[in-house]
Amino acid sequence: MVEPDTKTDTPKTGVEAIIDAVADLLQTAVDWLRQEAAAVVREKIVLPVQRLGLTLASATAAAALLVLGLIFIAVALFLLLAEVVGYPGALLIIGGVYVLASLVFLVIKVRSMQK
């Protein structure tokens, strides 16, 4: 013999119906709050971070292309300078320019730190 399910066979009392209605209302409120929280997080955090990521990726790609182009220009200028003064002279001139540039940078940095 199978016993009948007592929850479905007996009608709900007024208190049980109110408790079920309140539980359904609370579940609906929780679901709505979850949806709103997800929308706010997506709008305020996820989308700006995605835009920032795309901006940084684009800037990195542009910087890499710029550096690659500058390397080719520097090599071409080195070869032109080497034809005029020879390779040792070209290396000496380029090294001297870098040393002077570093000294200028160092002097400017020291003066700005002293202020």
Query: Mind giving me the DSSP string for 71-87?
Result: HHHHHHHHHHHHHHH-H
In a domain, 2, yes or no: no
In a domain, 1, yes or no: no
Range of the domain at 107: 12-114
> What global pTM score does this model have?
0.55
Number of domains in the chain: 1
pLDDT at 12 (0 to 100): 72
In a domain, 5, yes or no: no
Tens-digit pLDDT profile for the chain (115 aa)? 445 455 555 677 888 889 999 999 999 999 999 999 999 999 999 999 999 999 999 999 999 999 999 999 999 999 999 999 999 999 999 999 999 999 999 999 999 998 8
In a domain, 7, yes or no: no
- Residue 86, sorted as left (phi over 0), alpha (psi -120 to 50) or beta, turns out to be left
C-beta separation of 24 from 12 below 8 A: no
In a domain, 26, yes or no: yes
pLDDT at 115 (0 to 100): 81
